[in-house]
Amino acid sequence: MVRLSAMQSLLALIRPKGIRLYDVLKKGEQYSVVLSAWNEGETLHFSEGVISEDRFEPIATDTLLAKSIAEGSGCFCGMQGSGYECCIPVLMDDEPVSVFEIQGDKPFDDASIAMATGMISVYRNYLALLEDSQRDTLTGLLNRKTFDTGFAVFLSSAVHLDAELQDDRRSHKEGSHWLAVMDIDHFKRVNDTFGHLYGDEVLILMANLMRGSFRQGDRLYRFGGEEFVVLMRDVDFADVKKKLDDFREKVEQHVFPQVGQVTISIGFTSVMPTSTPAMVLGEADEALYYAKGHGRNQVRCYGELVEQKLLAEKTVHTEVDYF
């Protein structure tokens, strides 16, 4: 784990009283933070799974932590309470994504500060390389090969669900974790009529619409071609269905250059602690297939279709396969 190596190195190099790593969330022009890693002596602790947005808290404006996020780069040191601390932000694409808060009983010397900033710079560069390897080159969304690992991390945050839901998958509308599969309707026609250059532009704009419609903590993937996947957590059935339908409508109303109107079909399903990637992709695929076969440009829930006896529960699909 990259965070583990960075924290261990900082503890060994500068011997601070404490180290805290905060994740940073930006909403509009406001920043909030959540503690994601910290030490107790030589023991390191980390938040498990995906951290939900409701755990992020506003920052007190008169702190070094707030100043480091506002300024965005450099090392911010000074007295804080009865001790001394240095806050060093980590930037990705010129935006702070996390901050190291290093605590001591007295000011750190220049050599210690230089070692800390150097180590955090290495950490940032490694994150950037890792990020690049996980991204689709055209859209910048997460790519297919990272899905299984990302799904495992996502799933680890679902273990708090009620034990009854863990053992009983009869009600696929229950739960608070969801996977949606989206497919652009008649995308081959777009490529055949306007050419692949405009087809690629549709994909790029679709990814931008996704980024502007879903939460920062939701995981957005391009699976290749015109197929996209969204993982969402901590949202109930009514809200997730509304969010997906709002996105469908947003796409329908968007004017794509040269192409004009484009629509999407969406299938989604609940994610349980016992789910596997093949299981939930198969269920969402069934719902998507139903949407495609019944008019397109619509959102369908696998569990709802099963309850309405419009679909029988299917065996697991090993791949997402559309037409």
In this structure, are 156 and 105 located in the same domain?
Answer: no
Whole-number Å distance between alpha carbons of 113 and 63: 19
Residue 312 lies in a domain: no
Mean pLDDT of 59-84: 84
**pLDDT value, residue 168:** 44
313 in a domain, yes or no? no
Query: Are 63 and 171 in the same domain?
Result: no
Residue type, 157: S
For residues 65 and 99, the answer to whether their CB atoms sit within 8 Å is yes
- Given a contact cutoff of 8 angstroms between Cβ atoms, the answer to whether 56 and 79 are in contact is no
Least confidently predicted of 66-75, 94-103, 118-127, 291-300: 66-75
Residues 12 and 55 reside in one and the same domain: yes
**What is the rounded CA–CA span in Å between residue 10 and residue 20?**
11
301 to 57, 231, 306: CA distances (angstroms)? 33, 14, 9
The CB density around residue 138, as the number of other CB atoms within 10 Å, is 14
Q: Which two tokens stand for residue 311?
A: 């679909």
Q: Which pTM value belongs to this model?
A: 0.71
Q: Is the CB of residue 53 less than 8 Å from the CB of residue 214?
A: no
Mean pLDDT of 41-51: 76
Q: What is the CATH number of the domain that holds 238?
A: 3.30.70.270
Angle between helix 147-156 and 277-293 (nearest 10) = 110
Q: Are residues 79 and 33 in the same domain?
A: yes
Active site residue 286: no
Q: Are residues 155 and 240 in the same domain?
A: yes
The reply to whether 215 and 156 lie within a common domain is: yes
**Does 51 share its domain with 127?**
yes
314 has pLDDT over 70 = no
Query: What's the CATH code of the domain at 21?
Result: 3.30.450.40
My answer on whether 166 and 292 are in the same domain is: yes
Per the structure, the count of domains in the chain is 2
Q: Cα separation of 22 and 231, whole Å?
A: 23
Is residue 21 within 8 A of residue 3, CB to CB? The reply is yes
Domain coverage including residue 40: 2-133
- 323 part of a folded domain: no
For residue 165, is pLDDT > 90? no
Give the Cα separation of 139 and 2 in Å (integer).
Answer: 25
235-254 residue pLDDT tens: 899 999 999 999 999 999 99
Cα–Cα distance, 219 to 112 (Å, whole number):
37
- The single residue listed with the structure tokens 């369908």 is 300
- What whole-number distance in Å separates Cα of residue 146 and Cα of residue 14? 35
Picking from 92, 111, 113, 93, the residue whose alpha carbon sits closest to that of residue 102 is 113
- Distance (Å) of CA 17 to CA 10, 91, 290: 11, 25, 58
| Residue that is last in its domain, among 133, 159, 183 | 133
Regarding whether 30 and 7 lie in a shared domain, the answer is yes
In a domain, 322, yes or no: no
Residue 48, pLDDT score: 66
Statement to judge: residues 54 and 86 lie in one domain: yes
174 and 230 share one domain: yes
Confidence of residue 5 (pLDDT cuts 50, 70, 90): confident
φ, ψ of residue 231 to 5 degrees: the values are -105, 125
Q: Which residues pair with 22 in a beta bridge?
A: 35, 99
Q: Find the catalytic residue in 226, 227, 283, 304.
A: 226
Residue with the larger pLDDT of the pair 81 and 199: 199
In a domain, 195, yes or no: yes
Any domain includes 320: no
Task: Give the span between the Cα atoms of 64 and 86, in whole angstroms.
Answer: 8
Tell whether 316 is covered by a domain. no
Mean pLDDT is lowest, of 53-62, 201-210, 235-244, 245-254, for 53-62
Residues 28 and 147 in one domain: no
